Amino acid sequence: MNEELWERTVAFHGHECPGLAMGFKACEAAREKMGITFSKDEEIVCVTENDACGVDAVQVITGCTFGKGNLIYRGTGKMAFSFFDRNSGKSLRMIVKPFKGEMDRKQRWQYILDASVDEIFSFNKPSFELPEKARLFTTIICENCGEGAPEHKIRLQQGKKVCLDCFKDYNRGL
């Protein structure tokens, strides 16, 4: 394990914990099995299925961030990460295997860091395609609140262009 990288990851996140260790280990697995390195732009993409501590490790280690558009949240709630390499075409989804036995917080994160990636994760191909590259959208001013939002987030309501905050969804419980 790269201790210096772990310390940088902890500094970014704020503390050591099992979730951060899980993200750290997921990045280690992606490096080992796919040969990925730090993503300066969008050459590496991570789709995270959770919004937990491990996502901070993904940002520090892989360079995948929400701001660059190469860190994508897919809210299944599962402790799963899918990595895509746009240059090589490789992809890999990993999901945490169930833990055996009881451990306190420190024991669990230490176990995660010390175990092999194959002991921690099940690996397969993602069931979805590589997400498209980030796009820039025209900003539209909401005719209700006056705030700007990207055009793909604007809805028409009673003939007005409105943002998602102002939009009143029509759904009759179906």
Binned at pLDDT 50, 70 and 90, residue 10 comes out as: very high
- Please state, for a pLDDT cut of 90, what percent of the chain lies above it: 83
Q: What is the pLDDT of residue 143?
A: 97
- The ranges assigned to domains in the chain are 3-124, 136-174
- The domain 136-174 having CATH identifier 3.30.60: the answer here is yes
Phi, psi of 20 (to 5 degrees): -65, -40
Q: What is the pLDDT of residue 50?
A: 95
Nearest Cα to 121, choosing from 79, 64, 83?
79
Going from the C-alpha of 85 to that of each of 110, 115, 131, 163, 165, the distances in angstroms are: 29, 25, 11, 34, 35
Phi, psi of 36 (to 5 degrees): -75, 155
- For the stretch 30-51, pLDDT in tens is 999 999 999 999 999 999 999 9
Q: According to DSSP H, which parts of 63-153 are helical?
A: 105-114, 117-120
Q: What is the pLDDT of residue 13?
A: 97
User: Which two structure tokens, joined as six digits, stand for 43?
Assistant: 């050459």
Per CATH, the architecture of 3-124 is what?
A: 2-Layer Sandwich (3.30)
Q: Given 3-state DSSP classes, what are the helix, strand and coil percentages for the chain, each rounded to the nearest 5?
A: 30, 20, 50
- For the stretch 123-164, pLDDT in tens is 999 998 888 888 889 999 999 999 999 999 999 999 999 999
- For the stretch 65-110, pLDDT in tens is 999 999 999 999 999 999 999 999 999 999 999 988 888 888 888 9
